[in-house]
Amino acid sequence: MSKLVIHATSLSLRIGPEWRGVLIMGPSGSGKSDLALRMIQAAGQAGCALVSDDYSLLWTSGGQLYAGAPETIEGRMEIRGIGIMATETRKLTRIHLAVLVQSDPIERLPENETTTILGHAIPTIRLNPREASATGKLLTRLKVS
C-alpha cells in the first residue's frame, strides 16, 4: 500500500447518510486551517470534523483514496493567533474533493478540474479561503461530488 504525506488540511463532512472527505491544499499561511475551522463551526460537530491539520497522510484502499493524520499531529489544530489546540477529529475519511486555495481572483465559470493523487483523479475546485462565501461554496460543491 502506497502512502504519501502532503501539505494539506483534511476534513470529513456529513452529506446525507455518508461522510465525504475534502483535502484543502495550499502553501503555508494561505488560509487552509482558517477555512477548516469555519467549516467545522458552520456545520457543527455532527456535520463536519477535522481529520488532519496542515499535513495529511494519504493512502489507497479498495480503489479509493483516504486521508488520516500523521501521528505527530493527530488531534491537534493550529489556530493562528491562539495556538495549537486539542481538537476532536475523525481518524480517517475517503477523499471526494480537493480544494486549491488561492488569493488570486477565481474564474466565474471554471472548467472542470481534477488533481491526481496516488493515481486517483480527484474533482478539484479553487477557492479564496478568506471570502465569506468560501464555506458555502465548498459545501455546495461537495454535495454534487
For residue range 26-53, list pLDDT tens digits in order.
998 898 999 999 998 876 656 899 999 9
Single pTM value for the model: 0.92
| Rounded-to-integer distance, Cα 140 and Cα 1, Å | 32
Asked whether the beta carbons of 86 and 76 are under 8 A apart, the reply is yes
* Average model confidence (pLDDT) across the chain: 92
The pLDDT of residue 88: 82
Burial class for 143, CB neighbours closer than 10 Å (0-12, 13-18, 19+): exposed
For residue range 60-92, list pLDDT tens digits in order.
999 999 999 999 999 988 888 888 898 889 999
The pLDDT of residue 46: 61
- The domain made up of 3-136 has a fold known as Rossmann fold (3.40.50)
Cell of 54: 496542515
Give the phi and the psi of residue 134 in degrees, each rounded to 5.
-60, -40
Give the phi and the psi of residue 72 in degrees, each rounded to 5.
-65, -20
